[in-house]
């Protein structure tokens, strides 16, 4: 509870986490499995306006477009969607919802509010069926990690969760963003199922995030954090928030910064309890959330009761 209040104020520290999570973080820092070599400068203490301005200047949503090797030689230019992700949604999207999969969204009755947005982003295997009252039923974009494409448990090929939506997949690549190394040794091999899905469903927009976009967001989190963050990619949640900030006039994020309903329940759709889902072990989730809280323009009451954060779209930011 003390940590939750600090999160709401935007000044929590990893030292406040359960020793088990601190230990896991330490192990990830030592392992540095993606070869992170941070060259940026710490710029802690930026105001909200300065932060937004930095984001507007640097965040460029990028997906694989098939123009770079090894993908160029594999015919990916013709394989990826002809319309880039940044131009797919109408420019006039006023407000968008980002709905995390946190257990705290249960019993929120936020469904109607979520569906009232012009576009709704959801994550991985999070369902709407049976949970409409709390999470709504509209899905415009779904961000999926590479395990969704490769683990048979998720039935990526035939589940309705992955149909009639814009799909955006990602996989942790080396920090160097060396595409050859990544193609040879992805975390989970998403390339084969991606190609197959594109061939079978050429009309469904389906993109893979460029490692440069992912690590650029990591750099921004580290630059604006006093502590050393885990050298692993940001969570899908953070990727989705920044994607929607690039595409929408305003972004309402639900149960990323947890509400008073917060427990260790990982996802609203499965009985699995682990504080790491909300506070992070592999992902620098605590630091992502502190950064997002610093950008929040919503009311404190909405944060406590709805777990809602309101963020301006980056196009509207004046520097
Ligand atoms: O677990 P999964 O990655 O599918 O969840 C989607 C996103 O929702 C996460 O990447 C994370 O940003 C957010 N989340 C959270 N707290 C939870 C569960 C998920 O903030 N308890």
**Tens of pLDDT, residues 8-46:** 999 999 999 999 999 999 999 999 999 999 999 888 789
| Number of Cβ within a 10 Å radius of residue 302 | 16
Q: Which atom of ligand 1 is nearest to the CA of 125?
A: 4
Q: What is the ipTM of this complex?
A: 0.99
Render pLDDT for 217-260 as a digit per residue (tens, 0 to 9). Answer: 999 999 999 999 999 999 999 999 999 999 999 999 999 999 99
**Ligand 1 atom with least separation from CA of 236:** 10
Quick check: 151 and 186 in contact, CB under 8 A? no
CA of 102 to the centre of ligand 1 (A): 6
Which of 102, 121, 275, 280 for a ligand 1 pocket mutation test, highest count of atoms within 8 Å of Cβ?
Answer: 102
How far, in Å, is the centroid of ligand 1 from the Cα of 152? Answer: 21
Q: What is the pLDDT of residue 28?
A: 98
Task: Give the pocket of ligand 1 (CB within 6 Å).
Answer: 100-103, 123-124, 235-237, 256, 266-267, 277-278
Burial degree of 213 (CB within 10 A; 0-12, 13-18, 19+): buried
> What residue's CA is closest to ligand 1, atom 18?
102
pLDDT tens digits for range 262-310: 999 999 999 999 999 999 999 999 999 999 999 999 999 999 999 999 9
Question: In the predicted model, is pLDDT for residue 183 greater than 90?
Answer: yes
Give mean pLDDT, residues 152-167. Answer: 97
Among 234, 235, 275, the mutation site with the greatest number of ligand 1 atoms within 8 A of its Cβ is 235
| Alpha carbons 292 and 222: distance in angstroms, whole number | 13
C-alpha to C-alpha distances, 63 to 68, 157, 199, 219, nearest whole angstrom: 11, 21, 18, 18
Rounded to 5°, the CA angle 287-293-269 comes to: 75
Question: Any idea of the CA torsion for 251, 253, 257, 263, to the nearest 10 degrees?
Answer: 180
Q: What is the pLDDT of residue 91?
A: 86
The mean pLDDT of 88-96, rounded to a whole number, is 92
How far away, in angstroms, is 277 Cα from ligand 1 center?
6
CATH architecture of 2-33+42-316: Alpha-Beta Complex (3.90)
């Amino acid at each position: 509870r003390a940590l939750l209040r600090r999160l709401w104020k935007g000044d929590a520290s990893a030292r406040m986490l359960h020793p088990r999570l601190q230990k896991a973080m330490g192990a990830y820092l030592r392992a540095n499995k993606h070869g992170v070599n941070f060259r940026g400068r710490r710029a802690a203490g930026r105001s909200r306006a300065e932060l937004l301005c930095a984001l507007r200047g640097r965040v460029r949503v990028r997906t694989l477009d098939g123009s770079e090797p090894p993908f160029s030689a594999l015919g990916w230019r013709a394989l990826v969607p002809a319309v880039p992700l940044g131009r797919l949604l109408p420019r006039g999207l006023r407000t968008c919802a980002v709905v995390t999969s946190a257990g705290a969204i249960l019993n929120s009755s936020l469904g109607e509010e979520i569906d009232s947005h012009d576009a709704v982003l959801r994550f991985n295997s999070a369902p709407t069926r049976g949970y409409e009252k709390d999470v709504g039923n509209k899905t415009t974009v779904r961000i999926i990690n590479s395990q969704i494409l490769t683990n048979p448990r998720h039935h990526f090929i035939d589940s309705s969760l992955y149909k009639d939506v814009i799909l955006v997949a990602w996989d942790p690549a080396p920090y160097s963003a060396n595409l050859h190394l990544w193609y040879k040794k992805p975390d989970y091999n998403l390339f084969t199922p991606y190609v197959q899905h594109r061939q079978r469903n050429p009309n469904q927009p389906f993109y893979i995030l460029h490692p440069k976009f992912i690590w650029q967001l990591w750099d921004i989190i580290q630059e604006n954090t006093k502590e050393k963050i885990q050298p692993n990619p940001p969570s899908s949640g953070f990727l989705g928030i920044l994607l929607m900030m690039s595409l929408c006039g305003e972004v309402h994020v639900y149960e990323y910064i947890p509400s008073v309903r917060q427990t260790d329940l990982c996802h609203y759709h499965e009985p699995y309890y682990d504080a790491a889902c909300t506070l992070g072990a592999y992902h620098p989730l605590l630091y992502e959330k502190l950064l997002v809280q610093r950008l929040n323009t919503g009311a404190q009451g909405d944060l406590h009761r709805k777990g809602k954060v309101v963020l301006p779209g980056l196009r509207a930011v004046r520097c």
